[in-house]
Structure 1
Amino acid sequence: MPAPAAKIIHTEAVGLAPCYNEAERGLSRAIRSLGRAFAALITQKRRLRRMRERAVTEAMIQAYGRYLDREERSPGTIAKYLRDVRAFASWQQGAPVTPESAKGWKEHLLQAQYAPTTINSMLAALNGLFRYLGWNHYRVRFLKIQRRMFRDPARELNRSEYLQLVKTAKAAHRERIGLLMETICSTGIRVSEVRYITVESARQGRARVLLKGKVREILIPSRLQDKLLAYARRTGRTEGPIFCTCRGRQLTRQQIWAEMKGLCSRAGVSAAKVFPHNLRHRATRSAA
């Protein structure tokens, strides 16, 4: 006698149940696998976004400049730091910063045969940016430089060479740079402090320098006072900085350096000896 239809359907359903369960489990595994893949994709996207955010941008550099200004760094220091940081950003070509790329920058500077002190100054600028951005794990170690016990005679500017430079400046009607060299050599003032040599300070015989949160007084010898005031009268300056451009702007480090170098060939003095800091050494030796 044939089995009832309901019983046949029930039997078939019971037989297919394991297949349904297996398919459901397979579908669940596929959904979970898809979820993990999607989560990995989101994580990778976030990682790439963070990497793009770690590229040095012009906005970051400008913000770093404002930070240095708040820290009362000198205009010359700020300009150099920003120039060095922009050089690194240009070398990176928009790529994200990594510890490897930061070390690679140091290797690049070594291969370009920069002087060790120059490399360390450029690394100081870059490390300062990383510190400001909170990227401390990207900071690069400085080169170790053995301290010299004696100055290199090839870079020593003696008194006769200094006097020849001043004489050449006067003969070439370049009174400003000649008097500026005399001022640096007589007072030991830094290039970044030249703006403090004013008509008022020349009258008082002392200049008050405020730099990097420190105040110090620089004495101006009486003979130099007379020369500075005479030069101020000839150039029509009655107040403010004595050493300025024709338009009354402050002389930059680069302008002073270039004008000094321009005297070397005429004076017969090696250009390797002529730079502002060497004149400060002359002041120290004269004082000693």
Structure 2
Amino acid sequence: MQDTGIEISREQMEEFEDYLYERENAGATIQKYLTDIRTFFRYLGDDLVVNKKRLLAYKEWLKESYMVNSANSILAALNQFLEFLGLGTWKVKRFKVQKSLFLNEEKELTEAEFRKLLKTALSEGKYQLALCMETIASTGIRISELEAFTVEAVRNDFIEVTNKGKYRRIYLSKEIRKKLLRYAEEQEIHSGPIFITRNGKPKSRSNIWREMKALKEKAGIDGRKIFPHNLRHLFARLYYKATKDLAGLGDILGHSSLNITRIYTSNTGKQYQRQLDNLNYLNTEMNT
């Protein structure tokens, strides 16, 4: 069968979507997988017969058409699809990538830039956005976890969230708790989520992202640095700088591996360069 191949159908996409829901994948993950499998079907065209040789050819096409990280992401979706089809033995290995020791300086949001963003949001009358950014940056939450910030939960001093079947508590500083409750009172929000739209629905990731991006010109900050997840990274760096507690930080962020947490606390190349320049103990005067 590996040489002759089997024919698949586009109708199996719907079944694959049901399969992902049954596995309790997150909604965003499901949509990403479906988009990636559509890419696979576009590659196949009218000939829907697949075998391992054709899958490897697709892998090479991805390598030439996408950045390696994007190609690996698409291959992850393909392997899930193959597993669903009962073709797990045909899974394709992802490209090996050497992990960078440094943060991308072009995308790192500094503490000073964060304060600029807050100041700009407030000057534009966007107090809700400013409070939203401050909440993420002071707790390290994922943007999707903002919905858990209800009036009732904030009054209890901590927030309970679940992500991928795992529960954890998010603790609040006295300052951010006070700001959240004061905002809720001013907006006459007596129960439920604090961050809501005019229609009373919880603020979505896309809404917050667009509002943050709109600040870039007045704040004078590179737009590539302005996105909600960068606030989570900022929290991680500042927390680790203050405590040097990597394990505790991993618990706060809800990471399953400290290797992921280490990425969040990495320095930039410039910071490493400064540290190297300060290591003068090997410098000696050479007589010529």
The question of 1:195 aligning with 2:139 is answered: no
Identify the match of residue 222 of structure 1 among 174, 182, 191. Answer: 174
User: Take 2:142 and 2:212, find their aligned partners in 1: how far apart are those partners?
Assistant: 15
**Other-structure match for 2:264:** none
Identify the match of residue 63 of structure 2 among 103, 110, 127. Answer: 110
Q: CA RMSD in A?
A: 2.4
Q: CA deviation at 1:170?
A: 1.6
The question of 1:267 aligning with 2:222 is answered: no
When residues 169 and 189 of structure 1 are mapped into structure 2, their CA distance, relative to the original with a 3 A threshold, is: same
Deviations 1:230-249 (A, max 9, x none): 33234443222222333333
Identify the match of residue 133 of structure 1 among 85, 110, 113. Answer: 85
Identify the match of residue 14 of structure 2 among 54, 59, 62. Answer: 62
Gaps of 5+ in 2: 241-288
Q: CA deviation at 1:100?
A: 4.2
- TM-score after normalising by structure 2: 0.73
User: Take 2:187 and 2:143, find their aligned partners in 1: how far apart are those partners?
Assistant: 21
Give 3-state SS (helix, strand or coil) of 1:72's partner: coil
User: Take 2:205 and 2:161, find their aligned partners in 1: how far apart are those partners?
Assistant: 17
The question of 1:243 aligning with 2:202 is answered: no
When residues 87 and 77 of structure 1 are mapped into structure 2, their CA distance, relative to the original with a 3 A threshold, is: same
- TM-score after normalising by structure 1: 0.73
User: Take 2:213 and 2:63, find their aligned partners in 1: how far apart are those partners?
Assistant: 26
Identify the match of residue 113 of structure 2 among 148, 158, 161. Answer: 161
**Other-structure match for 1:75:** 27
User: Take 2:41 and 2:129, find their aligned partners in 1: how far apart are those partners?
Assistant: 35
92-101 vs 71-80, which moves further: 92-101
Normalized per residue, the structure richer in helix is 1
Q: CA deviation at 1:202?
A: 1.4
Percent of aligned pairs sharing the same letter: 36
Q: CA deviation at 1:94?
A: 4.8
The question of 1:176 aligning with 2:176 is answered: no
Indicate conservation of the 8 Å contact 1:76/1:192, yes or no: no
Q: CA deviation at 1:166?
A: 1.3
**Other-structure match for 1:23:** none
Structure whose CA Rg is larger: 1
When residues 177 and 143 of structure 1 are mapped into structure 2, their CA distance, relative to the original with a 3 A threshold, is: farther
Give 3-state SS (helix, strand or coil) of 1:217's partner: strand
Q: How does 1:28-67 map to 2 (within 5 A)?
A: 51=7, 54-55=8-9, 57=10, 59-67=11-19
**Other-structure match for 2:281:** none
User: Take 2:178 and 2:49, find their aligned partners in 1: how far apart are those partners?
Assistant: 55
Gaps of 5+ in 1: 1-46
